[in-house]
């Protein structure tokens, strides 16, 4: 028996496009003599469709796609994820299902049992869990069909669910397992995924074929990395990251095992590739083409500019240099050098006159009030206004360049440097931004060395440095990681050796700046806990305030 994994980049709600991709893969698999081809979770409509699932018309389109795939399942069986309608009045209206199509019929439908409702997932909002667990018999083989989370409830010290669907399927004489998934990327997830698959294979002694999505859907990025695992627990194949691929495997060869083929997992390389895909698909799937951003000569905007150029092409990226009287000459030179290195269009608009005009209009009201954050924010909002003017005039979508450390503690100006249609590096801590810059320069200097080595500064007042009001980023990032990703409270973080007053101050800054994060652009997710839909905190709350 031959089994094909189709690791594809779907587009939410693009039924014709998704169906065309799948039919093309079916045609390829037929030419290779494959017996079964497997697509990902909710492949007909894309993942996550969210409240589109509430529209009857949306569901009709998914059923139409299933019907077209059924017609194509003549010389081959097709396994595909799609919503299915719950025929009884009790419970939710839909199931998250895996269809097994063969002989131009719907041979079997297995519903998803474990519906994740944490982090970015909210499946119990839409779907009814499975209550039946059968297996599929095809060409003399007995197959356990599972959907994504259904294999994730083993090997955990504190299981999230009370049932393991495969515990109910395996005793029925299963030969191998198919899993259709839509498993989002984080820089640590690929290793965790392999461990979960290995735990399943070791527990049940069965080969597993695991198919994942690739590409990005707004802030959520899928890395691919589909896996074929032999009964001996070895990774027979781990497919490409961030690349569409259709690959056919001989079941007999997989069953023999003995070989290990695992992709290299370098954190910074994975983040780099994920962010490039995130920008590319955000623009491509929304029909946008050109980007603009403010280039300051600092590391954050430099890294963002490189990622944009690699995602969209140099002809589609424009930058604006907006020095003030507080900007150093080397910052302007560094920004200009980077733009020239990347071959992207740049313009320079000095903002001193605009800034002075604002102060002149405000001076009767401000009177003799001393310079403070107000004047700093006027500069940031002046720059934001100029960038949005070019965005509106020429159709360039503004990219936000704020990093996660700054986003966490509120070091950004609403309607100024926090403006944009996409937050590119807002899930990347400052120290990892430096690592990204070094990675970008690994084959030669792209980002000027001075942008990497100079002390970070917003340059909004004379001789300003980030360290004037924040601890060193090495310390800040560690405290933020413990609080945001590891969900540790102040006493737990203090027990790790950090100064109590500093911990309380940093955590308070995170909490009181939630209102800013609610108003910023979607954040490309590369960690286990990104700002946005996966971290739902109240704006108004007393905790640590």
Task: Kindly tell me if the per-residue pLDDT of 227 is higher than 70.
Answer: yes
User: In sequence order, what are the beta bridge partners of 348?
Assistant: 321
Question: Which entry of 41, 238, 337, 459 is annotated as an active-site residue?
Answer: 41
- Domains (ranges, CATH) in the chain? 2-259 (3.60.110.10), 270-518 (3.40.50.620)
What average pLDDT does this structure show over 96-123? 97
pLDDT of residue 464: 65
Find the range with the poorest average confidence among 13-27, 59-73, 181-195, 458-472: 458-472
What average pLDDT does this structure show over 325-353? 91
Task: Kindly tell me if the per-residue pLDDT of 92 is higher than 90.
Answer: yes
Order of strands across the sheet that contains 245-250:
105-111, 94-102, 77-85, 36-38, 2-7, 245-250
Task: Kindly tell me if the per-residue pLDDT of 37 is higher than 80.
Answer: yes
The proportion of the chain whose per-residue pLDDT surpasses 90, expressed as a percent, equals 91
Query: Which residue, 108, 94, 101, is CA-closest to 71?
Result: 101
Task: Kindly tell me if the per-residue pLDDT of 139 is higher than 90.
Answer: yes
- Tokens 């079916």 locate to 26
pLDDT of residue 458: 66
When the pLDDT of each residue in the chain is averaged and rounded to a whole number, the result is 95
371 to each of 381, 384, 413, how far by Cα in Å?
16, 21, 16
Query: Which residue, 397, 399, 405, is CA-closest to 428?
Result: 405
pLDDT-based confidence at residue 436 (cuts at 50, 70, 90) = very high
**SS3 for 471-535, per residue?**
CCHHHHHHHHHHHHCCCCCHHHHHCCCCCHHHHHHHHHHHHHCHHHHHCCCCECCCCCCCCECCE
Question: Which entry of 21, 112, 285, 290 is annotated as an active-site residue?
Answer: 112
Task: Kindly tell me if the per-residue pLDDT of 140 is higher than 80.
Answer: yes
pLDDT of residue 456: 78
Task: Kindly tell me if the per-residue pLDDT of 244 is higher than 90.
Answer: yes
Tens-digit pLDDT profile for residues 383-434: 999 999 999 999 999 999 999 999 999 999 999 999 999 999 999 999 999 9
Let me know if 71 is a catalytic residue.
no
Q: Are strands 141-147 and 176-180 parallel, antiparallel or unpaired?
A: parallel
Task: Kindly tell me if the per-residue pLDDT of 59 is higher than 90.
Answer: yes
pLDDT of residue 268: 98
Task: Kindly tell me if the per-residue pLDDT of 545 is higher than 70.
Answer: no
Instruction: Output the pTM of the full model.
Output: 0.95
pLDDT of residue 544: 76
CA distance 361 to 337: 36
Question: Which entry of 38, 45, 148, 164 is annotated as an active-site residue?
Answer: 148
pLDDT of residue 462: 76
Task: Kindly tell me if the per-residue pLDDT of 542 is higher than 90.
Answer: no
Tens-digit pLDDT profile for residues 441-461: 999 999 999 999 988 776 666
What average pLDDT does this structure show over 234-262? 96
Whether 99 and 106 have beta carbons less than 8 Å apart is answered as yes
pLDDT of residue 201: 97
| Token pair in block for residue 510 | 């995170």
272 to each of 8, 108, 253, 437, how far by Cα in Å?
20, 40, 35, 10
Let me know if 41 is a catalytic residue.
yes
List of residues 6+ apart from 459 with CB closer than 8 A: 296, 324, 326, 327, 328, 331
């Amino acid at each position: 028996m031959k089994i094909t994994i189709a690791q594809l980049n779907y587009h939410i709600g693009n039924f014709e496009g998704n169906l065309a991709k799948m039919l093309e893969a079916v045609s390829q698999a037929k030419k290779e003599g494959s017996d079964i081809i497997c697509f990902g979770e909710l492949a007909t409509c894309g993942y996550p469709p969210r409240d589109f699932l509430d529209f009857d018309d949306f569901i009709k389109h998914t059923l139409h796609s299933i019907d077209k795939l059924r017609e194509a399942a003549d010389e081959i069986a097709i396994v595909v994820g799609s919503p299915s309608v719950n025929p009884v009045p009790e419970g939710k209206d839909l199931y998250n299902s895996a269809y097994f199509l063969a002989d131009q019929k719907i041979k079997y439908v297995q519903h998803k049992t474990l519906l994740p409702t944490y982090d970015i997932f909210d499946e119990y909002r839409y779907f009814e869990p499975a209550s039946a667990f059968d297996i599929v018999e095809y060409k003399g083989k007995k197959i356990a069909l599972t959907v994504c989370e259904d294999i994730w409830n083993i090997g955990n010290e504190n299981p999230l669910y009370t049932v393991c669907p495969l515990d109910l399927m395996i005793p029925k004489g299963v030969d191998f397992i198919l899993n259709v998934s839509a498993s989002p990327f984080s820089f640590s997830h690929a290793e965790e995924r392999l461990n979960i698959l290995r735990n399943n294979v070791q527990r049940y002694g069965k080969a597993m074929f695991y198919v994942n999505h690739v590409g990005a859907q707004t802030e959520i990025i899928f890395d691919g990395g589909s896996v074929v695992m032999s009964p001996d627990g070895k990774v027979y194949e781990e497919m490409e990251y961030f690349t569409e691929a259709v690959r056919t495997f001989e079941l007999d060869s997989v069953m023999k095992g003995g070989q290990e083929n695992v992709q290299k997992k370098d954190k910074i390389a994975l983040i780099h590739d994920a962010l490039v895909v995130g920008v590319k698909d955000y623009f491509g799937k929304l029909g946008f083409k050109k980007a603009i951003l403010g280039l300051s000569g600092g590391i954050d905007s430099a890294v963002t500019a490189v990622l944009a150029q690699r995602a969209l092409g140099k002809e589609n990226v424009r930058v604006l240099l907006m020095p003030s009287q507080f900007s150093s000459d080397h910052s302007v030179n560094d920004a200009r050098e980077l733009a020239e290195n990347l071959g992207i269009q740049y313009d320079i608009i000095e903002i001193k006159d605009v800034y002075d005009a604002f102060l002149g209009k405000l001076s009767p009201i401000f009177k003799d009030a001393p310079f403070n954050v107000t004047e700093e924010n006027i500069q940031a909002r002046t720059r934001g206004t100029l960038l949005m003017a070019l965005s509106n005039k020429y159709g360039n979508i503004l990219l936000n360049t704020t990093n996660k450390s700054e986003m966490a503690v509120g070091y950004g100006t609403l309607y100024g440097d926090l403006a944009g249609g996409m937050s590119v590096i807002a899930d990347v801590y400052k120290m990892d931004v430096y690592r990204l810059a070094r990675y970008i320069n690994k084959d030669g200097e792209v980002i000027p060395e001075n942008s990497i080595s100079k002390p970070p500064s917003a340059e909004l007042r004379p001789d300003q440095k980030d360290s004037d009001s924040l601890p060193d980023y090495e310390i800040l990032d560690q405290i933020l990681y413990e609080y945001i990703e590891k969900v540790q409270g102040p006493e737990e973080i203090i027990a790790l050796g950090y100064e109590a007053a500093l911990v309380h101050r940093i955590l308070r800054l995170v909490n009181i700046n939630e209102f800013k994060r609610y108003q910023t652009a979607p954040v490309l997710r590369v960690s286990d806990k990104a700002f946005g839909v996966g971290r739902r905190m109240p704006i108004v709350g007393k905790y640590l305030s």
